[in-house]
Amino acid sequence: MQNNQIESYVILGGGTAGWISAAVLAQALKNSKVNITLIESPNVATVGVGEATIPSIVDLLEYLRIPQKDFILKTNATFKLGIKFVDWLEKGQHYWHQFGYIGNNIDGLPFYQHWARHISQGGQFGLTDFSPAVALAKQNKFFIPDPKRPNNLSGSTYALHFDAGLVAEYLKEYCLKKHNLEVVYDHLVDTELDIQGQIKTLHLQSGKHISADFFIDCSGQRALLINKALRVGYQNWQHYLPANKAIAVQTDISNPLPPYTEATAHEHGWRWRIPLQNRTGNGYVYCDDFCSDNHAEALLIDHATKHNCVINQSKLISFTTGKRDKMWFKNCLAVGLSSGFLEPLESTSIYLIMRAMLNFVQSLPDKMPHPATIKEFNRRMDIEYQCIRDFIVLHYCRTQRTDSAFWRMWQTLAIPDSLQQKLALFEAQGRLMHNPQDLFAQDSWYAVLEGMGVRAKSLDPRVYQSNFTMVEKAFADSANALVQVASKTLDHAEYIQRLKL
């Protein structure tokens, strides 16, 4: 059998997408002689506002063999236990999307079924009152579960908030120290294709020409390879998610330091607040059909400065929600903004970069094209995007707000058929079918469904076989114990300070 392995990769673009791609690819091929070159343009600034993550970031650090403590201290990171959603269902209401579990299965049925029965009988406990992560977050506490010493908080998991610019620099240093990777600081001016329509050579501003077997497009929304050179189309999803702009600004440090992201619904969209060790990230995501850029900036500054001082110039970002028709086409893979964009409501941007690269290294090609491999990769990534899209739409589509044209629009806006089916199934008897390719587990869906006022008309008949009195006692004991145990853990800020010792 002929050895036809790829000998050279070129990654076009630095930033978070480029350096995560380089790190994952270099780690996967660390025992090979493959050449990896990253072209970073000195003329293009990165977007650099993606500061919040989900728990998969911890898995990425483990895959790359990066010490978590070192990463946290060098990227001004803080811990994240979930997201607090404010004013989404209606003004004055809030709910939590926790990381980790809510309760435990009882008598072979999901915890949600028993909690829904509790509520139907006049129970007073909220669904996320049984979340270890929320018990900690409400008290600005933090705790990493020890598998060898389980307790009431063992069901919590965590992610990180960090400075995206520092993360790119950290991963650049990691790649250059740990792996044999070349960096070229130059600007792409032209892309040459071969007779089969594959990318052959990149022509740079300096006059240099770089050829490779395979190319990874991390050039952002410009999509210089996958779109400009290869003309792969883009599926626009703004009819499902109309927000198309964001303004970001930084303020000084928050006190106390919350271990969660806050997402607050506003007149024309929503505002994020992300605490770091040295500052707070703020942003306003909105639809410019209803709001001018100047008005959006004024609203953001007004709210961001209620307790903090602005420390930089605001940055305007335009985007088109959607995904590339094919993220892998011929000898090119699109990663990051070149592959698609979903608004950062659930902090999934960095996850999608990581997932694309991990799926890719599990499907590494050789020099011969294998259509079945490419088709399967694209199928899996399509599902990732579609599931996340549906989960984000859920945060909007059942709102009861009618105080602005933006929110009134959501009363009649069409939603994807896949989400419509999921809602219909859930509202019938409170059931969610397990989808192993859905990033968000059932407890995540339960939390947002409840937060947005979506409840089942009936329940699984088996739930009525359980001893209701015993279940109610277990509920009271569990909720009270979570609060008590969480109160004895370290404050979030103190936990981070101890890492510095």
Q: What is the DSSP letter of 337?
A: G
Q: Which stretches of 252-384 are assigned E, i.e. beta strand?
A: 261-266, 269-275, 280-286, 315-318, 322-324, 328-329, 332-334, 340-341
The answer to whether 15 is annotated as binding is: yes
**Torsion angle of C-alpha atoms 149, 153, 158, 163, degrees rounded to 10:** -100
The answer to whether 14 is annotated as binding is: yes
The answer to whether 138 is annotated as binding is: no
Task: Please indicate whether residue 80 is annotated as part of the active site.
Answer: yes
**Residues 266 and 229 sit within 8 Å (Cβ to Cβ):** no
Q: Both tokens of residue 434?
A: 């397990």
Spatial CA neighbour of 353 closest among 381, 313, 322: 381
**Residues 323 and 237 sit within 8 Å (Cβ to Cβ):** yes
Distance set, CA 413 to CA 42, 74, 239, 463, 467 (Å)? 42, 44, 8, 35, 43
In angstroms, the first-to-last Cα distance of the chain is 56
The answer to whether 16 is annotated as binding is: yes
CA 276 to chain centre: 17
Distance set, CA 308 to CA 127, 304, 323 (Å)? 32, 6, 36
Q: Both tokens of residue 73?
A: 């201290």
Pairing relation of β-strands 8-12 and 214-217?
Answer: parallel
The active-site residue, picked from 30, 80, 172, 323, is: 80
Sheet arrangement for strand 322-324: 234-236, 322-324, 340-341
Spatial CA neighbour of 130 closest among 431, 428, 450: 450
The answer to whether 80 is annotated as binding is: yes
β-pair partners for 334: 217
Q: What angle do CA 254, 256, 262 make, to 5 degrees?
A: 65
Spatial CA neighbour of 359 closest among 3, 14, 25, 6: 25
Question: Which residues fall in the annotated binding site?
Answer: 14-17, 80, 337, 346, 350
Question: Which residues fall in the annotated binding site for L-tryptophan?
Answer: 346
Question: Which residues fall in the annotated binding site for FAD?
Answer: 14-17, 337, 350
What are the residue numbers of the active site? 80
Question: Which residues fall in the annotated binding site for 7-chloro-L-tryptophan?
Answer: 80
